[in-house]
Chain A
Amino acid sequence: MAEQIHELNQKKHTSKMRSQLRLDLIGFAFIAPWLIGFLGFIIGPMIASLYFSFTNYDLLSAPSWIGLDNYINMFTNDDRFWKAIRVTLIFVFGSVPLKLAFALFVAMLFNTKRRGVGVYRTLYYVPSILGGSVAIAVVWKQLFGSDGAVNDILAIFGIPTTSWVTSPDFALSTLILLVIWQFGSPMLIFLAGLKAIPFELYEAASVDGANPFLQFIKITLPMLSPVIFFNLVMQTIQGFMAFTQSFLITNGGPMDNTLFYAVYLYEKAFAHFDMGYASALAWILLIICGLFTAFIFRTAKSWVHYESEGGN
Protein backbone atom coordinates (compact mmCIF):
# COMPACT_ATOMS: atom_id res chain seq x y z
CA MET A 1 0.00 0.00 0.00
CA ALA A 2 2.71 2.43 1.06
CA GLU A 3 4.70 1.46 -1.99
CA GLN A 4 1.76 2.11 -4.21
CA ILE A 5 1.31 5.57 -2.75
CA HIS A 6 5.01 6.20 -3.19
CA GLU A 7 4.81 5.13 -6.80
CA LEU A 8 1.80 7.30 -7.30
CA ASN A 9 3.60 10.28 -5.81
CA GLN A 10 6.52 9.63 -8.16
CA LYS A 11 4.22 9.52 -11.11
CA LYS A 12 2.50 12.65 -9.90
CA HIS A 13 5.84 14.37 -9.65
CA THR A 14 6.94 13.59 -13.18
CA SER A 15 3.72 14.62 -14.82
CA LYS A 16 2.99 17.33 -12.31
CA MET A 17 2.15 19.96 -14.89
CA ARG A 18 -0.25 17.74 -16.73
CA SER A 19 -1.99 16.48 -13.66
CA GLN A 20 -2.30 20.01 -12.25
CA LEU A 21 -3.98 21.03 -15.47
CA ARG A 22 -6.31 18.06 -15.10
CA LEU A 23 -7.12 19.06 -11.53
CA ASP A 24 -7.76 22.63 -12.69
CA LEU A 25 -10.19 21.38 -15.30
CA ILE A 26 -11.99 19.11 -12.84
CA GLY A 27 -12.06 21.77 -10.14
CA PHE A 28 -13.43 24.46 -12.41
CA ALA A 29 -15.99 22.03 -13.80
CA PHE A 30 -17.30 21.43 -10.29
CA ILE A 31 -17.40 25.06 -9.25
CA ALA A 32 -18.66 26.20 -12.67
CA PRO A 33 -22.25 26.82 -11.51
CA TRP A 34 -21.09 29.17 -8.79
CA LEU A 35 -18.41 30.78 -10.96
CA ILE A 36 -20.94 31.57 -13.70
CA GLY A 37 -23.27 33.06 -11.12
CA PHE A 38 -20.49 34.98 -9.44
CA LEU A 39 -19.19 36.53 -12.64
CA GLY A 40 -22.47 36.90 -14.49
CA PHE A 41 -24.92 37.73 -11.74
CA ILE A 42 -22.77 39.45 -9.12
CA ILE A 43 -19.50 40.91 -10.39
CA GLY A 44 -20.78 41.86 -13.86
CA PRO A 45 -23.98 43.54 -12.68
CA MET A 46 -22.10 45.27 -9.86
CA ILE A 47 -19.62 46.83 -12.24
CA ALA A 48 -22.55 47.84 -14.43
CA SER A 49 -24.28 49.35 -11.43
CA LEU A 50 -21.18 51.33 -10.52
CA TYR A 51 -21.43 52.83 -13.99
CA PHE A 52 -25.19 53.41 -13.69
CA SER A 53 -24.64 55.21 -10.39
CA PHE A 54 -22.93 57.97 -12.39
CA THR A 55 -25.84 58.22 -14.81
CA ASN A 56 -29.44 59.18 -15.09
CA TYR A 57 -31.20 55.96 -16.05
CA ASP A 58 -34.89 55.07 -16.12
CA LEU A 59 -34.63 51.66 -17.86
CA LEU A 60 -36.51 52.94 -20.94
CA SER A 61 -34.07 55.40 -22.43
CA ALA A 62 -30.31 54.93 -22.56
CA PRO A 63 -28.39 55.99 -19.43
CA SER A 64 -26.96 59.49 -19.65
CA TRP A 65 -23.72 60.33 -17.85
CA ILE A 66 -24.11 62.90 -15.09
CA GLY A 67 -20.86 62.31 -13.21
CA LEU A 68 -21.05 62.58 -9.44
CA ASP A 69 -24.44 64.29 -9.46
CA ASN A 70 -26.32 61.37 -7.88
CA TYR A 71 -23.87 61.20 -4.98
CA ILE A 72 -23.70 64.98 -4.55
CA ASN A 73 -27.46 65.17 -4.61
CA MET A 74 -27.74 62.37 -2.09
CA PHE A 75 -25.38 63.93 0.41
CA THR A 76 -26.35 67.58 0.10
CA ASN A 77 -29.90 67.67 -1.11
CA ASP A 78 -31.76 64.56 0.00
CA ASP A 79 -33.27 64.71 3.48
CA ARG A 80 -34.96 61.34 3.04
CA PHE A 81 -31.57 59.67 2.40
CA TRP A 82 -30.26 60.97 5.72
CA LYS A 83 -33.52 60.01 7.41
CA ALA A 84 -33.20 56.47 5.99
CA ILE A 85 -29.62 56.24 7.26
CA ARG A 86 -30.68 57.43 10.70
CA VAL A 87 -33.66 55.08 10.92
CA THR A 88 -31.61 52.12 9.75
CA LEU A 89 -28.82 52.81 12.23
CA ILE A 90 -31.29 53.16 15.11
CA PHE A 91 -32.93 49.94 13.95
CA VAL A 92 -29.64 48.02 13.75
CA PHE A 93 -28.23 49.37 17.02
CA GLY A 94 -31.55 48.93 18.76
CA SER A 95 -32.39 45.45 17.58
CA VAL A 96 -29.08 43.58 17.27
CA PRO A 97 -27.75 43.95 20.86
CA LEU A 98 -31.18 43.31 22.40
CA LYS A 99 -31.80 40.33 20.14
CA LEU A 100 -28.42 38.80 20.94
CA ALA A 101 -28.79 39.46 24.68
CA PHE A 102 -32.21 37.86 24.72
CA ALA A 103 -31.00 34.93 22.60
CA LEU A 104 -28.13 34.36 25.03
CA PHE A 105 -30.44 34.61 28.02
CA VAL A 106 -32.82 31.97 26.62
CA ALA A 107 -29.92 29.77 25.51
CA MET A 108 -28.58 29.81 29.06
CA LEU A 109 -32.00 28.84 30.38
CA PHE A 110 -31.97 25.87 28.02
CA ASN A 111 -28.40 24.82 28.71
CA THR A 112 -29.44 22.25 31.27
CA LYS A 113 -30.09 18.55 31.40
CA ARG A 114 -33.62 19.02 32.70
CA ARG A 115 -36.45 17.16 31.03
CA GLY A 116 -38.55 18.88 28.44
CA VAL A 117 -35.86 21.23 27.17
CA GLY A 118 -36.18 19.78 23.66
CA VAL A 119 -39.84 20.71 23.58
CA TYR A 120 -39.12 24.22 24.88
CA ARG A 121 -36.45 24.76 22.28
CA THR A 122 -38.98 23.90 19.58
CA LEU A 123 -41.58 26.20 21.09
CA TYR A 124 -39.19 29.14 21.30
CA TYR A 125 -37.94 28.60 17.78
CA VAL A 126 -41.37 28.77 16.13
CA PRO A 127 -41.42 32.61 15.91
CA SER A 128 -38.17 32.53 13.95
CA ILE A 129 -39.63 30.09 11.43
CA LEU A 130 -42.55 32.35 10.71
CA GLY A 131 -41.38 35.78 11.79
CA GLY A 132 -40.12 36.97 8.44
CA SER A 133 -43.23 35.98 6.54
CA VAL A 134 -45.87 38.24 5.08
CA ALA A 135 -48.41 36.47 7.28
CA ILE A 136 -46.72 37.61 10.48
CA ALA A 137 -46.14 41.13 9.17
CA VAL A 138 -49.85 41.40 8.46
CA VAL A 139 -50.63 40.05 11.92
CA TRP A 140 -48.16 42.38 13.66
CA LYS A 141 -49.89 45.35 12.09
CA GLN A 142 -53.19 44.26 13.66
CA LEU A 143 -51.74 43.17 17.01
CA PHE A 144 -50.20 46.59 17.56
CA GLY A 145 -53.00 48.54 15.89
CA SER A 146 -55.19 50.96 17.83
CA ASP A 147 -57.85 48.31 18.52
CA GLY A 148 -55.44 45.39 18.51
CA ALA A 149 -54.82 42.71 21.11
CA VAL A 150 -51.78 44.43 22.65
CA ASN A 151 -53.84 47.44 23.63
CA ASP A 152 -56.51 45.17 25.05
CA ILE A 153 -53.97 43.50 27.30
CA LEU A 154 -52.30 46.78 28.29
CA ALA A 155 -55.69 48.23 29.19
CA ILE A 156 -56.20 45.42 31.72
CA PHE A 157 -53.10 46.62 33.56
CA GLY A 158 -54.16 50.23 33.21
CA ILE A 159 -51.26 51.11 30.91
CA PRO A 160 -52.08 53.93 28.48
CA THR A 161 -52.66 52.64 24.96
CA THR A 162 -51.89 54.10 21.60
CA SER A 163 -51.86 53.00 18.00
CA TRP A 164 -48.33 51.62 18.11
CA VAL A 165 -47.76 51.12 14.40
CA THR A 166 -49.01 54.53 13.33
CA SER A 167 -47.44 56.53 16.14
CA PRO A 168 -44.30 58.42 15.06
CA ASP A 169 -42.76 57.71 18.47
CA PHE A 170 -43.42 53.98 18.69
CA ALA A 171 -43.62 52.64 15.14
CA LEU A 172 -39.91 51.88 14.89
CA SER A 173 -39.87 50.22 18.32
CA THR A 174 -42.71 47.99 17.19
CA LEU A 175 -40.62 46.82 14.26
CA ILE A 176 -37.58 46.34 16.49
CA LEU A 177 -39.71 44.18 18.76
CA LEU A 178 -40.74 42.03 15.80
CA VAL A 179 -37.10 41.43 14.90
CA ILE A 180 -36.07 40.65 18.47
CA TRP A 181 -38.91 38.15 18.63
CA GLN A 182 -37.11 36.16 15.93
CA PHE A 183 -34.18 35.36 18.21
CA GLY A 184 -34.27 31.63 17.42
CA SER A 185 -31.24 31.21 15.17
CA PRO A 186 -28.74 33.09 17.37
CA MET A 187 -30.29 31.28 20.35
CA LEU A 188 -29.57 27.86 18.82
CA ILE A 189 -26.05 28.95 17.90
CA PHE A 190 -25.42 30.20 21.45
CA LEU A 191 -26.81 26.96 22.84
CA ALA A 192 -24.39 24.89 20.75
CA GLY A 193 -21.59 27.20 21.90
CA LEU A 194 -22.57 26.85 25.55
CA LYS A 195 -22.64 23.07 25.31
CA ALA A 196 -19.07 23.13 23.99
CA ILE A 197 -17.72 24.85 27.11
CA PRO A 198 -16.05 22.22 29.31
CA PHE A 199 -17.94 21.78 32.56
CA GLU A 200 -14.65 21.45 34.48
CA LEU A 201 -14.03 25.17 34.00
CA TYR A 202 -17.12 26.01 36.02
CA GLU A 203 -16.31 23.37 38.63
CA ALA A 204 -12.85 24.78 39.10
CA ALA A 205 -14.26 28.29 39.38
CA SER A 206 -16.83 27.16 41.97
CA VAL A 207 -14.08 25.60 44.02
CA ASP A 208 -12.23 28.91 43.86
CA GLY A 209 -15.36 30.59 45.17
CA ALA A 210 -16.43 32.46 42.03
CA ASN A 211 -20.13 33.30 42.09
CA PRO A 212 -22.36 32.62 39.06
CA PHE A 213 -22.11 36.22 37.88
CA LEU A 214 -18.33 36.14 37.96
CA GLN A 215 -18.36 32.77 36.21
CA PHE A 216 -20.52 34.28 33.48
CA ILE A 217 -18.13 37.21 32.97
CA LYS A 218 -14.90 35.24 33.28
CA ILE A 219 -15.79 31.93 31.63
CA THR A 220 -19.02 32.02 29.62
CA LEU A 221 -18.48 35.29 27.74
CA PRO A 222 -14.84 34.70 26.72
CA MET A 223 -15.53 31.09 25.73
CA LEU A 224 -18.55 32.18 23.71
CA SER A 225 -16.83 35.12 22.05
CA PRO A 226 -16.28 33.42 18.65
CA VAL A 227 -19.98 32.58 18.56
CA ILE A 228 -20.96 36.08 19.68
CA PHE A 229 -18.74 37.42 16.93
CA PHE A 230 -20.41 35.25 14.28
CA ASN A 231 -23.90 36.21 15.45
CA LEU A 232 -22.96 39.88 15.61
CA VAL A 233 -21.70 39.96 12.02
CA MET A 234 -24.65 38.01 10.61
CA GLN A 235 -27.31 39.93 12.52
CA THR A 236 -25.81 43.31 11.70
CA ILE A 237 -25.82 42.55 7.98
CA GLN A 238 -29.36 41.22 8.24
CA GLY A 239 -30.35 44.38 10.07
CA PHE A 240 -29.12 46.59 7.26
CA MET A 241 -31.05 44.44 4.79
CA ALA A 242 -34.38 44.57 6.64
CA PHE A 243 -37.19 45.33 4.23
CA THR A 244 -40.40 43.31 4.57
CA GLN A 245 -41.29 44.52 8.08
CA SER A 246 -41.18 48.19 7.25
CA PHE A 247 -42.61 47.80 3.76
CA LEU A 248 -45.67 45.85 4.91
CA ILE A 249 -46.34 47.06 8.43
CA THR A 250 -45.65 50.78 8.31
CA ASN A 251 -44.69 51.38 4.68
CA GLY A 252 -41.86 53.59 5.88
CA GLY A 253 -44.20 55.86 7.77
CA PRO A 254 -45.41 57.61 9.80
CA MET A 255 -43.48 60.68 8.69
CA ASP A 256 -40.70 58.45 7.34
CA ASN A 257 -39.94 57.34 10.88
CA THR A 258 -39.52 53.72 9.79
CA LEU A 259 -38.01 54.42 6.40
CA PHE A 260 -35.48 51.59 6.25
CA TYR A 261 -32.66 52.07 3.80
CA ALA A 262 -33.84 49.05 1.80
CA VAL A 263 -37.35 50.49 1.56
CA TYR A 264 -36.04 53.84 0.34
CA LEU A 265 -33.88 52.07 -2.23
CA TYR A 266 -36.84 50.01 -3.39
CA GLU A 267 -38.96 53.15 -3.71
CA LYS A 268 -36.36 54.95 -5.80
CA ALA A 269 -35.83 51.97 -8.07
CA PHE A 270 -39.28 50.49 -8.51
CA ALA A 271 -41.70 53.31 -7.77
CA HIS A 272 -39.75 56.16 -9.40
CA PHE A 273 -37.64 54.00 -11.75
CA ASP A 274 -34.66 56.17 -10.95
CA MET A 275 -32.17 53.34 -11.48
CA GLY A 276 -29.14 55.61 -11.54
CA TYR A 277 -29.92 57.07 -8.13
CA ALA A 278 -30.91 53.66 -6.75
CA SER A 279 -27.57 52.24 -7.95
CA ALA A 280 -25.78 55.01 -6.10
CA LEU A 281 -27.82 54.20 -2.98
CA ALA A 282 -26.89 50.52 -3.32
CA TRP A 283 -23.19 51.38 -3.50
CA ILE A 284 -23.43 53.57 -0.41
CA LEU A 285 -25.18 50.67 1.38
CA LEU A 286 -22.34 48.37 0.34
CA ILE A 287 -19.78 50.82 1.70
CA ILE A 288 -21.66 51.24 4.98
CA CYS A 289 -22.02 47.47 5.45
CA GLY A 290 -18.38 46.99 4.49
CA LEU A 291 -17.25 49.56 7.05
CA PHE A 292 -19.31 48.00 9.83
CA THR A 293 -18.14 44.49 9.03
CA ALA A 294 -14.54 45.67 8.81
CA PHE A 295 -14.95 47.47 12.14
CA ILE A 296 -16.31 44.33 13.83
CA PHE A 297 -13.50 42.24 12.33
CA ARG A 298 -10.88 44.82 13.40
CA THR A 299 -12.01 44.96 17.00
CA ALA A 300 -12.47 41.19 17.06
CA LYS A 301 -8.79 40.66 17.85
CA SER A 302 -9.19 42.36 21.20
CA TRP A 303 -12.29 40.54 22.40
CA VAL A 304 -12.74 37.33 20.44
CA HIS A 305 -10.93 34.55 22.19
CA TYR A 306 -9.97 31.53 20.11
CA GLU A 307 -8.61 28.43 21.70
CA SER A 308 -5.15 27.62 20.42
CA GLU A 309 -6.12 24.07 19.62
CA GLY A 310 -9.14 22.48 18.05
CA GLY A 311 -9.85 25.51 15.91
CA ASN A 312 -9.91 25.36 12.16
Chain B
Amino acid sequence: MMKKNKSLRTLVYHGSIWLLGLLMIYPILWTIASSLKAENEIFRNAASLIPSEWNWENYARGWEGFGNLSFTTFFLNSTFVTTMVVIGTIFSSTLVAFGFARVNFRFRTPLFVCMIVTLMLPQQVTLIPQYILFHNLGWVNTYLPLIVPAFIGGIPFFIFLMIQFIRGIPRELDEAAYMDGASTFAIFWRIILPLTTPAIATVAIFSFYWTWDDFMTPLVYLNDTKLYTVALGLQMFSDPSSVSAWGPMFAMSVASIVPQLLVFLFFQKYLVEGITAGSVKG
Protein backbone atom coordinates (compact mmCIF):
# COMPACT_ATOMS: atom_id res chain seq x y z
CA MET B 1 0.00 0.00 0.00
CA MET B 2 2.74 2.39 1.04
CA LYS B 3 4.75 1.53 -2.02
CA LYS B 4 1.86 2.06 -4.37
CA ASN B 5 1.16 5.41 -2.76
CA LYS B 6 4.77 6.44 -3.25
CA SER B 7 4.89 5.53 -6.91
CA LEU B 8 1.60 7.37 -7.45
CA ARG B 9 3.13 10.45 -5.88
CA THR B 10 6.18 10.12 -8.10
CA LEU B 11 3.91 9.90 -11.11
CA VAL B 12 1.96 13.00 -10.08
CA TYR B 13 5.22 14.85 -9.45
CA HIS B 14 6.75 14.07 -12.83
CA GLY B 15 3.44 14.53 -14.62
CA SER B 16 2.78 17.99 -13.25
CA ILE B 17 6.38 19.09 -13.83
CA TRP B 18 6.19 18.00 -17.45
CA LEU B 19 2.87 19.77 -17.89
CA LEU B 20 4.13 23.03 -16.37
CA GLY B 21 7.38 22.64 -18.31
CA LEU B 22 5.52 22.32 -21.58
CA LEU B 23 3.62 25.49 -20.75
CA MET B 24 6.99 27.15 -20.07
CA ILE B 25 8.54 26.30 -23.40
CA TYR B 26 5.30 26.55 -25.38
CA PRO B 27 6.16 30.03 -26.74
CA ILE B 28 9.49 28.71 -28.03
CA LEU B 29 7.95 25.62 -29.60
CA TRP B 30 5.26 27.85 -31.05
CA THR B 31 7.89 30.08 -32.66
CA ILE B 32 9.58 27.09 -34.23
CA ALA B 33 6.22 25.74 -35.47
CA SER B 34 5.18 29.13 -36.85
CA SER B 35 8.47 29.47 -38.67
CA LEU B 36 7.53 26.37 -40.64
CA LYS B 37 3.92 27.28 -41.33
CA ALA B 38 2.68 28.85 -44.52
CA GLU B 39 1.80 32.53 -44.19
CA ASN B 40 -1.96 31.97 -44.18
CA GLU B 41 -1.75 29.21 -41.58
CA ILE B 42 0.11 31.16 -38.90
CA PHE B 43 -2.96 32.96 -37.65
CA ARG B 44 -5.69 30.68 -38.92
CA ASN B 45 -4.35 27.80 -36.92
CA ALA B 46 -2.53 29.87 -34.33
CA ALA B 47 -2.31 27.65 -31.26
CA SER B 48 -1.25 24.52 -33.09
CA LEU B 49 2.32 23.34 -32.72
CA ILE B 50 2.33 21.15 -35.81
CA PRO B 51 2.32 22.84 -39.21
CA SER B 52 -0.01 21.13 -41.66
CA GLU B 53 2.76 21.36 -44.22
CA TRP B 54 6.45 21.83 -43.48
CA ASN B 55 7.40 25.02 -45.18
CA TRP B 56 11.16 25.63 -45.21
CA GLU B 57 10.77 28.48 -47.64
CA ASN B 58 10.35 30.94 -44.77
CA TYR B 59 13.99 30.43 -43.84
CA ALA B 60 15.25 31.11 -47.34
CA ARG B 61 13.05 34.18 -47.68
CA GLY B 62 13.90 35.51 -44.23
CA TRP B 63 17.61 35.03 -44.75
CA GLU B 64 17.49 37.24 -47.84
CA GLY B 65 16.93 40.13 -45.47
CA PHE B 66 16.17 43.63 -46.65
CA GLY B 67 17.32 45.31 -49.81
CA ASN B 68 20.77 43.97 -50.58
CA LEU B 69 21.55 43.10 -46.94
CA SER B 70 21.01 39.50 -45.99
CA PHE B 71 21.16 37.91 -42.58
CA THR B 72 24.64 36.69 -43.50
CA THR B 73 25.77 40.28 -42.88
CA PHE B 74 23.87 40.57 -39.60
CA PHE B 75 25.19 37.24 -38.33
CA LEU B 76 28.76 38.13 -39.27
CA ASN B 77 28.37 41.51 -37.54
CA SER B 78 26.96 39.90 -34.40
CA THR B 79 29.69 37.28 -34.42
CA PHE B 80 32.41 39.92 -34.71
CA VAL B 81 31.00 42.14 -31.96
CA THR B 82 30.30 39.22 -29.64
CA THR B 83 33.76 37.69 -30.14
CA MET B 84 35.48 40.99 -29.41
CA VAL B 85 33.35 41.60 -26.33
CA VAL B 86 34.04 38.11 -24.98
CA ILE B 87 37.79 38.58 -25.49
CA GLY B 88 37.66 42.03 -23.90
CA THR B 89 35.65 40.80 -20.95
CA ILE B 90 38.03 37.92 -20.24
CA PHE B 91 41.01 40.26 -20.52
CA SER B 92 39.67 42.91 -18.16
CA SER B 93 37.87 40.71 -15.66
CA THR B 94 40.81 38.39 -14.98
CA LEU B 95 43.40 41.15 -14.61
CA VAL B 96 41.25 43.41 -12.46
CA ALA B 97 39.95 40.57 -10.32
CA PHE B 98 43.49 39.35 -9.62
CA GLY B 99 44.48 42.88 -8.59
CA PHE B 100 41.60 43.17 -6.16
CA ALA B 101 41.80 39.64 -4.82
CA ARG B 102 45.55 39.21 -4.42
CA VAL B 103 47.50 42.47 -4.38
CA ASN B 104 47.56 44.54 -1.20
CA PHE B 105 47.72 48.01 -2.67
CA ARG B 106 46.58 51.18 -0.97
CA PHE B 107 42.99 52.35 -1.57
CA ARG B 108 42.06 48.79 -2.45
CA THR B 109 39.00 48.72 -0.20
CA PRO B 110 37.47 52.07 -1.25
CA LEU B 111 38.04 51.22 -4.89
CA PHE B 112 36.48 47.81 -4.38
CA VAL B 113 33.44 49.52 -2.84
CA CYS B 114 33.27 51.81 -5.90
CA MET B 115 33.18 48.75 -8.13
CA ILE B 116 30.42 47.11 -6.11
CA VAL B 117 28.38 50.30 -6.31
CA THR B 118 28.70 50.43 -10.09
CA LEU B 119 27.45 46.85 -10.07
CA MET B 120 24.09 48.30 -9.05
CA LEU B 121 24.16 51.29 -11.38
CA PRO B 122 21.31 51.19 -13.92
CA GLN B 123 22.58 51.15 -17.48
CA GLN B 124 20.37 54.08 -18.47
CA VAL B 125 22.06 56.39 -16.01
CA THR B 126 25.35 56.22 -17.90
CA LEU B 127 23.75 55.77 -21.32
CA ILE B 128 23.20 59.48 -22.07
CA PRO B 129 26.55 60.79 -20.81
CA GLN B 130 28.38 57.92 -22.55
CA TYR B 131 26.52 58.63 -25.75
CA ILE B 132 27.60 62.29 -25.57
CA LEU B 133 31.18 61.19 -24.92
CA PHE B 134 31.22 58.68 -27.80
CA HIS B 135 29.50 61.22 -30.02
CA ASN B 136 32.26 63.71 -29.33
CA LEU B 137 34.90 61.04 -29.95
CA GLY B 138 33.29 60.32 -33.32
CA TRP B 139 32.54 56.73 -32.31
CA VAL B 140 28.83 56.75 -33.14
CA ASN B 141 27.99 54.41 -36.00
CA THR B 142 31.07 52.26 -35.30
CA TYR B 143 31.47 49.14 -33.17
CA LEU B 144 33.78 50.90 -30.73
CA PRO B 145 31.03 51.88 -28.22
CA LEU B 146 29.96 48.24 -28.13
CA ILE B 147 33.42 46.72 -27.83
CA VAL B 148 35.72 49.13 -25.97
CA PRO B 149 33.73 49.09 -22.68
CA ALA B 150 34.32 45.33 -22.41
CA PHE B 151 38.09 45.85 -22.43
CA ILE B 152 37.88 48.28 -19.55
CA GLY B 153 35.67 46.29 -17.24
CA GLY B 154 32.39 47.66 -18.56
CA ILE B 155 30.34 45.04 -16.74
CA PRO B 156 31.61 44.93 -13.14
CA PHE B 157 29.54 41.81 -12.49
CA PHE B 158 32.20 39.76 -14.30
CA ILE B 159 35.00 41.25 -12.21
CA PHE B 160 33.00 40.47 -9.09
CA LEU B 161 32.47 36.90 -10.25
CA MET B 162 36.19 36.41 -10.89
CA ILE B 163 37.13 37.94 -7.53
CA GLN B 164 34.81 35.50 -5.76
CA PHE B 165 36.43 32.65 -7.64
CA ILE B 166 40.05 33.72 -7.11
CA ARG B 167 39.39 34.17 -3.39
CA GLY B 168 38.59 30.48 -3.28
CA ILE B 169 42.05 29.51 -4.55
CA PRO B 170 44.40 28.76 -1.64
CA ARG B 171 46.86 31.58 -1.05
CA GLU B 172 49.60 29.07 -0.24
CA LEU B 173 49.98 28.48 -3.96
CA ASP B 174 50.88 32.11 -4.61
CA GLU B 175 53.13 32.27 -1.58
CA ALA B 176 55.07 29.18 -2.59
CA ALA B 177 55.63 30.65 -6.04
CA TYR B 178 56.61 33.96 -4.49
CA MET B 179 59.26 32.18 -2.41
CA ASP B 180 60.60 30.65 -5.59
CA GLY B 181 61.08 34.16 -6.90
CA ALA B 182 58.13 34.36 -9.25
CA SER B 183 56.96 37.85 -10.13
CA THR B 184 53.38 38.91 -9.42
CA PHE B 185 52.57 38.74 -13.08
CA ALA B 186 54.04 35.23 -13.31
CA ILE B 187 51.83 34.19 -10.39
CA PHE B 188 48.83 35.60 -12.21
CA TRP B 189 49.75 34.07 -15.54
CA ARG B 190 51.06 30.66 -14.51
CA ILE B 191 49.15 29.87 -11.34
CA ILE B 192 45.91 31.79 -11.00
CA LEU B 193 44.88 31.97 -14.64
CA PRO B 194 45.04 28.21 -15.32
CA LEU B 195 43.09 27.55 -12.13
CA THR B 196 40.34 29.98 -13.04
CA THR B 197 39.41 28.36 -16.36
CA PRO B 198 35.94 27.31 -15.08
CA ALA B 199 35.23 30.90 -14.04
CA ILE B 200 36.59 32.19 -17.33
CA ALA B 201 34.19 29.84 -19.11
CA THR B 202 31.31 31.23 -17.06
CA VAL B 203 32.29 34.81 -17.82
CA ALA B 204 32.70 34.02 -21.51
CA ILE B 205 29.27 32.39 -21.73
CA PHE B 206 27.51 35.21 -19.93
CA SER B 207 29.15 37.93 -21.98
CA PHE B 208 28.27 35.95 -25.10
CA TYR B 209 24.61 35.86 -24.06
CA TRP B 210 24.32 39.45 -23.04
CA THR B 211 26.06 40.74 -26.15
CA TRP B 212 24.23 38.50 -28.58
CA ASP B 213 20.92 39.54 -27.00
CA ASP B 214 21.72 43.17 -26.48
CA PHE B 215 19.28 45.43 -28.20
CA MET B 216 19.56 48.83 -26.59
CA THR B 217 23.28 49.50 -27.14
CA PRO B 218 23.33 48.65 -30.89
CA LEU B 219 20.03 50.50 -31.29
CA VAL B 220 21.53 53.64 -29.84
CA TYR B 221 24.93 53.52 -31.54
CA LEU B 222 24.44 51.87 -34.94
CA ASN B 223 22.57 53.82 -37.61
CA ASP B 224 23.95 52.24 -40.75
CA THR B 225 22.02 49.10 -41.72
CA LYS B 226 25.29 47.56 -42.95
CA LEU B 227 26.52 47.50 -39.34
CA TYR B 228 23.34 46.01 -37.84
CA THR B 229 23.54 43.05 -35.49
CA VAL B 230 21.06 40.18 -35.66
CA ALA B 231 18.91 41.79 -32.95
CA LEU B 232 18.54 44.97 -35.00
CA GLY B 233 18.03 43.00 -38.20
CA LEU B 234 15.14 41.13 -36.58
CA GLN B 235 13.60 44.34 -35.43
CA MET B 236 13.39 45.49 -39.04
CA PHE B 237 10.72 42.85 -39.63
CA SER B 238 8.42 44.58 -37.17
CA ASP B 239 9.05 47.96 -38.72
CA PRO B 240 5.62 49.22 -39.78
CA SER B 241 7.03 50.52 -43.06
CA SER B 242 8.24 47.08 -44.16
CA VAL B 243 5.72 44.63 -45.51
CA SER B 244 4.82 42.29 -42.69
CA ALA B 245 6.19 38.89 -43.48
CA TRP B 246 5.36 36.76 -40.47
CA GLY B 247 6.76 33.44 -41.66
CA PRO B 248 10.24 34.79 -42.51
CA MET B 249 10.22 36.83 -39.31
CA PHE B 250 9.60 33.74 -37.18
CA ALA B 251 12.18 31.81 -39.20
CA MET B 252 14.85 34.43 -38.48
CA SER B 253 13.75 34.61 -34.85
CA VAL B 254 14.49 30.90 -34.60
CA ALA B 255 17.79 31.32 -36.44
CA SER B 256 18.81 34.11 -34.06
CA ILE B 257 18.30 31.95 -30.97
CA VAL B 258 20.05 28.86 -32.33
CA PRO B 259 23.55 29.97 -31.19
CA GLN B 260 22.19 30.74 -27.72
CA LEU B 261 20.46 27.39 -27.44
CA LEU B 262 23.57 25.52 -28.62
CA VAL B 263 25.81 27.28 -26.11
CA PHE B 264 23.25 26.61 -23.40
CA LEU B 265 23.00 22.91 -24.18
CA PHE B 266 26.76 22.36 -24.23
CA PHE B 267 27.89 24.67 -21.45
CA GLN B 268 24.98 24.86 -19.04
CA LYS B 269 27.12 23.55 -16.20
CA TYR B 270 29.24 26.73 -16.23
CA LEU B 271 26.15 28.87 -16.51
CA VAL B 272 24.54 27.38 -13.42
CA GLU B 273 27.78 27.78 -11.48
CA GLY B 274 28.09 31.39 -12.54
CA ILE B 275 24.58 32.34 -11.56
CA THR B 276 24.85 30.82 -8.15
CA ALA B 277 28.46 31.78 -7.40
CA GLY B 278 27.79 35.48 -7.01
CA SER B 279 24.90 35.08 -4.63
CA VAL B 280 25.39 32.15 -2.35
CA LYS B 281 29.10 32.20 -1.70
CA GLY B 282 29.19 35.97 -1.55
Contact = CB atoms under 8 A, between A and B. Distances in A.
A129 B261 contact: yes
A26 B105 contact: yes
Interface in A236-292: 237, 240-241, 243-244, 247-248, 261-262, 265-266, 269-270, 275, 278-279, 282-283, 285-286, 289
Interface in B10-31: 10, 13-14, 17, 21, 24-25, 27-28, 30-31
Interface residues of B, number: 91
B136 to A, nearest CB: 9
A160 interface: no
B105 A139 contact: no
Contacts, number: 263
Contacts of B212: 133
Interface stretch (B51-59, B63-71, B96-104, B195-203): B96-104
Given A120-B21, A135-B256, A41 B133 contact: yes
Contacts of B27: 127, 136, 139-140, 143, 181
B165 interface: no
Interface stretch (A66-74, A168-176, A214-222, A227-235): A227-235
Name the residue in B30, B43, B46, B108 with the highest tally of chain A Cβ atoms < 10 Å from its Cβ. B46
Contacts of B149: 37, 41
B103 A270 contact: no
Contact of A133 (B92, B120, B256): B256
Interface string A138-155: 111111000111011100
A134 B235 contact: yes
B253 to A, nearest CB: 4
B209 interface: yes
B2 interface: no
A22 B104 CA distance: 10
Interface in A41-91: 41-42, 44-46, 48-49, 52, 59
A30 B103 contact: yes
A120 B102 CA distance: 39
Nearest to B122: A241
B145 to A, nearest CB: 10
A124 B21 contact: yes
A196 interface: yes
A134 B24 contact: no
Contacts of B92: 33-34, 37
B26 to A, nearest CB: 8
B132 interface: yes
A188 interface: yes
Contacts of A163: none
Contacts of A233: 120
Given A30-B99, A109-B17, 20 more contacts: A24-B106, A26-B103, A33-B96, A34-B115, A34-B153, A41-B149, A44-B133, A120-B21, A122-B264, A126-B261, A129-B209, A133-B212, A134-B231, A148-B43, A189-B276, A192-B276, A230-B282, A241-B124, A262-B124, A282-B126
